[in-house]
């Protein structure tokens, strides 16, 4: 059996690829490593990382001539995956096409109901399910075998049916590391308008115990969190370094959720002399000084905080479980320990949120001692509580809109209009960046930081391009 695993580009970019990839598709690489361990010949195709048009991607799969093609799907690329799957099925009607990932997990029955050329959906984590599925196809696709594949959704006489229950990986240490040797020539590292050289992702845990209403993670992981051992993570970091990588982003949904574990990991990195620059995300209620100090000493150069709002009422609406003042404290501590770059995300456009509250959040970014704010308009992501609430209230027709994640402001009459939100975001982006005190601080901090100096000098051109794109996006 030969299996192609495809990671499509997001749908906004159309037929010809004209965007850039942040990092490699770790889920696909994990699956490739598992299949390889089982002796199955596997191909990995990452459209963004390889700068492939749809036609080039399809031709690459054709040359491999697989028996099965698996698509890794998010809401943002589900439509693209379906388009590519249709072309491949037209080329080879005997090809077995299976969808997996978040989008397929949430809307698997709709995927099979709409697209006749997609044969199967596998829900949840695929490391256990996919080898079982490949063996079932090899044996002849008997219904008795197919329905025993964990997490499978299939058709029987044209009727969509659910097979065995999902089976997640209980011990993540038992998984082989993602096979990065397959993607060493790909182009990654584009984050917030910057290019990180020799860059990759690493995942040390799966899931998140929180239940933020705008986030869809809870729908996929059932609010469970599964952590790898510190020693297992350290082994992978050493492998990453041996492959020539210099910059790493920890893609955990909540890297700082376990203070003791983070400290142990940082101590291990120093003990093993792991020499990597790394980036992590954190909640503001996990801004422990001792942990942040250990992170900085172990090579953490950038931290992303999910601040989200400068209004406690809106934070409570999001069920964030944090307080406004915790954001100030977490940023101040990260600054004191010497983390080079601090950035924060903010969300505006919730139902009932006033223009004054939107402006208060955007102004709050200026009060925080951060280097860059990321302002987002609240989106309704399938699987998130906000999406379900809007559907229950009649603002979203799920059967018509399950392949999209529209901005809530475009749906709910109680929101500040999208056009107004865009104007406010652009206004405060400019205000944030043009403050004299901020500019002086940033210049001073950059001159004191070798990491920042290298990053800035290597990104002058792309930073200007990013700002022009940002201005164009929020001016439209």
Q: pLDDT tens digits, the chain, 476 residues: what are they?
A: 999 999 999 864 443 344 578 899 999 999 999 999 999 999 999 999 999 989 999 999 999 999 999 999 999 899 999 999 999 999 999 999 999 999 999 999 999 999 999 999 999 999 999 999 999 999 999 999 999 999 999 999 999 999 999 999 999 999 999 999 999 999 999 887 788 999 999 999 999 889 899 998 877 777 789 999 999 999 999 999 999 999 999 999 889 999 999 999 999 999 999 999 999 999 999 999 999 999 999 999 999 999 999 999 999 999 999 999 999 999 999 999 999 999 999 999 999 999 999 999 999 999 999 999 999 999 999 999 999 999 999 999 999 889 999 999 999 999 999 999 999 999 999 999 999 999 999 999 999 999 999 888 877 755 555 555 555 555 55
Q: Which of 295, 366, 360 is nearest to 333 (CA)?
A: 295
CATH fourth-level superfamily of 189-475: tm_1862 like domain (3.80.30.20)
In whole angstroms, what is the distance from residue 37 CA to residue 152 CA? 22
In whole angstroms, what is the distance from residue 143 CA to residue 137 CA? 10
Amino acid 193: pLDDT: 73
Q: Which of 14, 104, 21, 54 is nearest to 403 (CA)?
A: 104
Contact 76, 405 (CB under 8 A): yes
In words, the CATH class of domain 2-162 is alpha beta
In whole angstroms, what is the distance from residue 28 CA to residue 38 CA? 15
In whole angstroms, what is the distance from residue 105 CA to residue 93 CA? 24
Beta-carbon count within 10 A of 54 CB: 18
CA distances from 379 to 12, 44, 257, 418 (A): 15, 30, 25, 11
Q: Which of 80, 74, 144, 158 is nearest to 116 (CA)?
A: 158
**Span(s) in the chain for CATH 3.40.50.280:** 2-162
**Span(s) in the chain for CATH 3.80.30.20:** 189-475
In whole angstroms, what is the distance from residue 138 CA to residue 279 CA? 42
What is residue 293's three-state secondary structure? helix
**Residue 49 class from Cβ within 10 Å (0-12 exposed, 13-18 middle, 19+ buried)?**
buried
Instruction: Please give the model's pTM, rounded to 2 decimal places.
Output: 0.92
What are the strands, taking DSSP E only, across 57-109?
Answer: 68-72, 96-100
Provide φ and ψ at 347, rounded to 5°.
Answer: -125, 130
In sequence order, the 6+-apart residues with CB closer than 8 A to the CB of 140 are none
């Amino acid at each position: 059996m030969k299996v192609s695993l495809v990671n499509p580009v997001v749908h906004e970019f159309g037929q010809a690829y004209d965007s850039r990839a942040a990092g490699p598709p770790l889920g696909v690489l994990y699956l490739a490593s598992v299949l390889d361990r089982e002796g199955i010949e596997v191909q990995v195709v990452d459209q963004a990382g390889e700068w492939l048009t749809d036609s080039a991607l399809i031709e690459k799969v054709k040359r491999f001539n697989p028996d099965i093609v698996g698509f890794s799907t998010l809401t943002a690329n589900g439509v693209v995956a379906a388009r590519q799957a249709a072309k491949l099925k037209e080329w080879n009607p005997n090809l077995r096409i299976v969808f997996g990932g978040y989008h397929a997990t949430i809307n698997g029955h709709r995927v099979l109901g709409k697209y006749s050329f997609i044969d199967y959906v596998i829900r949840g984590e695929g490391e256990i399910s996919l080898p079982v599925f490949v063996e079932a196809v090899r044996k002849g696709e008997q219904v008795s075998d197919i329905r025993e594949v964990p997490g499978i959704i299939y058709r029987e006489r044209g009727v969509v049916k659910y097979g065995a229950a999902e089976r997640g990986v209980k011990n993540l240490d038992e998984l082989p590391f993602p096979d990065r040797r397959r993607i060493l020539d790909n182009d990654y590292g584009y984050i917030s308008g910057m290019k990180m050289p020799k860059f990759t992702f690493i995942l040390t845990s799966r899931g998140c115990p929180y239940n933020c209403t705008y986030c869809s993670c809870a729908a996929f992981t059932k609010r469970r969190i599964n952590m790898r051992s510190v020693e297992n993570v350290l082994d992978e970091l050493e492998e990453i370094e041996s492959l020539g990588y210099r910059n790493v982003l920890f893609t955990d949904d909540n890297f700082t959720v376990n203070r003791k574990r983070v400290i142990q990991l940082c101590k291990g990195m120093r003990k093993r002399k792991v020499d990597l620059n790394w980036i992590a995300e954190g909640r503001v209620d996990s801004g422990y000084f001792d942990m942040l100090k250990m992170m900085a000493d172990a090579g953490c150069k950038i931290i992303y905080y999910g601040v989200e709002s400068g209004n406690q009422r809106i934070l409570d609406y999001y069920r964030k479980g944090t307080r406004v003042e915790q954001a100030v404290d977490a940023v101040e501590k990260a600054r004191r320990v010497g983390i080079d770059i601090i950035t924060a995300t903010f969300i505006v456009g919730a139902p009932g949120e006033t223009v004054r509250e939107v402006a208060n959040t955007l102004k709050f970014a200026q009060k925080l001692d951060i280097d860059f704010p990321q302002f987002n308009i609240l989106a309704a992501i399938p699987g998130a509580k906000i999406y379900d609430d809007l559907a229950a209230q009649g603002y979203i027709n799920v059967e018509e809109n399950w392949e999209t994640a529209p901005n809530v402001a475009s749906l709910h009459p109680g929101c500040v209009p999208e056009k107004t939100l865009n104007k406010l975001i652009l206004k405060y982006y400019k205000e944030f960046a043009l403050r004299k005190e901020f500019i002086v601080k940033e210049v001073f901090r950059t001159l004191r930081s070798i990491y920042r100096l290298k990053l800035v000098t290597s990104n002058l051109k792309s930073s200007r391009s990013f700002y022009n794109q940002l201005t164009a996006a929020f001016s439209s």
